[in-house]
Chain A
Amino acid sequence: MIQVRGLTKTYRVPVRPPGLGGALRSLFSREFREVKAVRDLSFSIQPGERVGFLGPNGAGKTTTLKMLSGLLYPTSGELSVAGHVPQSRAPAFLQQITLVMGQKQQLLWDLPARESFELNRAMYGVERAAFRSTLDELVAMLRAEALLDKPVRNLSLGERMKCELIAALVHRPQVLFLDEPTIGLDVEMQVQVRQFVAEHNRETGATVLLTSHYMQDIAALTPRLLIIDQGTLRYDGSLDELSRRVAPERRIVVQQVLPELAGLGFAVTEGRMVATVPAAEANALIQRLLTLAPLVEFGVEVPPLEEVIARVFAEGRA
């Protein structure tokens, strides 16, 4: 569904010395600096896959997403989405994709969301009957019945995101580019958006490429991960595989403080006892733990996702 080979995007950015003097100087002679936002990126995504696109601010995620949706021209490299070259912006291509940006809005600010949906219906040439059934379906999935007739400016951030998602999906796109769709939302609304994206993907089989800063989005939604940093791909694979590779240790947590466990390498943290061992030795340690304290309550944890990702970036930069 999506093929990317050697994708590179270079921006030419004006450089201005600080202060009034600098501003004055740059009026007459401007200096430019080339910024490589994306360098030699390659990956491919199969139809129906859900893929998480992860990276720190300025890693090149949004730039890549904008190139995939045809908004930006790549400096070099090859791109193919749903059998089209995105930057040609052929109507047949644009019909099949959608882009949701958590930080921007497509809804008409002063009008009820319903008007935005109707405008999109006309622009995508969706038949009225099909539009109505899609709209009903989306509204039910997002529980957004009460929101459609309020002016958008009177909606809360979470309510607006629900309507943004509906507006983005009325034409039943095959490829969804979601750029931080949960940004700024409260926990409950984040969960609702996640559930919706998962359900929509199950029912329509649409391909999803999602960027997010919230690890929970990635953990809950996207079995496959692409990690990008400074415009370069650092990792492509499953989350489990990543944990195994980057964080090969396990954390064994005992829910109470038993001084005799200190001999096994356990240390007290926040009223619990924790031991961190290489994954391969975890089973042996559990055996010894159960021999020593057969009735103890314990759990095995992998390091938190944030920590794993941070290690990937640290490795890449080292």
Chain B
Amino acid sequence: MIRGFRMEVALALLRVSLLTAMQYRASFMAEILVGGLSAFGVAAPLFLVYARVSELQGWTLDQALLVTGFFLLYNAFVAGLIEPNLGAIVDGVRSGALDYLLIRPVDAQLLLSVRRVAPVAIWELVAGLIVVAVSLGRLGEPSVAAVALAALLFGCGLAATYGLWLMVICTSFWFVRVDNLRFLLGAVSDAGRWPVSVYGRGIRIALTTVIPVALVSSYPAMALLGRLDFSLVGGAVATAVAMLVASRMVLMRALRSYSSASS
């Protein structure tokens, strides 16, 4: 299904995007600094809340920190890969800059998805790993099965997130400017920083299926805490596969409608 995928191409793209990011020293340093601050900003509200209560809907501070840790990892994925790449599609459609991408004998989806990397995301990645490790250190080591389940759910969540973003972005092939949809998606995803059980039933379902941000934050944390079993795996995999297949179909249809721009 994915034609023309070659590891060599992915590596060459990665190299170029890192070289580009590092071309301007000041901007690179500033980005790294901002990334550090925003990683801190994700965890801060949690401490404010737990300064007043010791438990929130069955979650202690350490357990809720686990959710935050996964949310940071998810943010790193979105800020580092999804936003810069899929966001560039919107500009590319408007300016016709996709022309030179679409004539390459490489799968268009691959090119559109991995041609940029934002180094700023490194902080959220590091912060996420530290937060997960620290809270696990205080909560006790999870079983191998729990780690496998958490990783699987997290992976499915990332795949589903990517699919959802791609579908939303693809609407720009018809409507050209869809920046608002992007911001909406970002804002709603923010709900994932809190354990999903603090929300009402409707929102919980929405955060698991429509905008599957709970799949990348709360569920992996619940798996590590031993609150989930493998019965969820089927649903998570199905969600991920459905999102990936649907987004691929939408992209292929969208490319047919690409109208380029001027000469």
Give the B-binding residues of A (Cβ under 8 A): 11, 61-62, 66, 69-73, 87, 89-95, 97-99, 101, 103-106, 108, 110-111, 115, 118-119, 121-125, 151, 179-180
Contact = CB atoms under 8 A, between A and B. Distances in A.
24 contacts: A62-B263, A66-B260, A71-B258, A72-B258, A72-B259, A73-B256, A87-B256, A90-B3, A93-B105, A98-B103, A99-B99, A101-B263, A103-B262, A105-B100, A108-B20, A110-B20, A111-B19, A118-B12, A119-B16, A121-B12, A122-B11, A122-B12, A123-B12, A179-B263
Contacts of B23: 110-111, 151
Task: Tell me what chain A mostly uses at the interface: helix, strand, loop, or mixed.
Answer: mixed
Nearest to B6: A125
Residue picked from B20, B100, B108, most chain A C-beta under 10 Å = B100
B232 interface: no
A94 B103 contact: yes
By Cβ-Cβ distance, the 5 closest A-B pairs, closest first, are A122-B12, A91-B105, A62-B263, A94-B105, A106-B100
Contacts of A179: 263
B103 A99 contact: yes
A23 B142 CA distance: 59
A115 B4 contact: no
Given A108-B16, A111-B16, A122-B12, A94 B104 contact: yes
B183 interface: no
B99 A104 contact: yes
Given A103-B263, A108-B20, A119 B103 contact: no
B102 A70 contact: yes
Interface string B68-106: 000000000000000000000000000011011011111
Contacts of A106: 100
B3 to A, nearest CB: 6
Contacts of B3: 90-91
A180 B263 CA distance: 9
Contacts of B260: 66, 71-72
A111 B97 contact: no
Contact of B99 (A61, A101, A110, A123): A101
A11 B257 CA distance: 10
Contact of A71 (B19, B102, B262): B102
Contacts of B19: 111, 115
B203 interface: no
Interface residues of B, number: 30
Nearest to A94: B105
Given A72-B258, A90-B3, 19 more contacts: A11-B259, A61-B263, A62-B262, A66-B260, A71-B258, A87-B256, A93-B105, A97-B103, A101-B99, A104-B100, A108-B16, A118-B12, A122-B11, A123-B104, A123-B105, A123-B106, A124-B105, A125-B8, A179-B263
A194 B145 CA distance: 67
Contacts of A72: 258-260
Contacts, number: 82
A111 B260 CA distance: 25
A93 B16 CA distance: 25
Interface in B186-222: none
B112 to A, nearest CB: 13
Contacts of A125: 6, 8, 105
A95 B105 contact: yes
B95 to A, nearest CB: 9
Contacts of B24: 110
B9 interface: yes
Nearest to A103: B263
A218 to B, nearest CB: 17
Nearest to A61: B263
Nearest to B104: A123
B61 interface: no
Contacts of B8: 122, 125
B168 interface: no
Nearest to B23: A110
Contacts of B20: 108, 110-111
Contacts of B11: 122
A130 to B, nearest CB: 15
Interface string B1-39: 001101011011100100110011000000000000000
Given A104-B97, A108-B16, A111-B19, A91 B103 contact: no
Contacts of B256: 73, 87
B25 to A, nearest CB: 12
Contacts of A62: 262-263
A213 B107 CA distance: 34
Contacts of B257: 73
Nearest to A9: B259
Contacts of B262: 62, 103
A71 B13 contact: no
Nearest to A65: B263
Given A119-B16, A125-B8, A91 B263 contact: no
B4 A71 contact: no
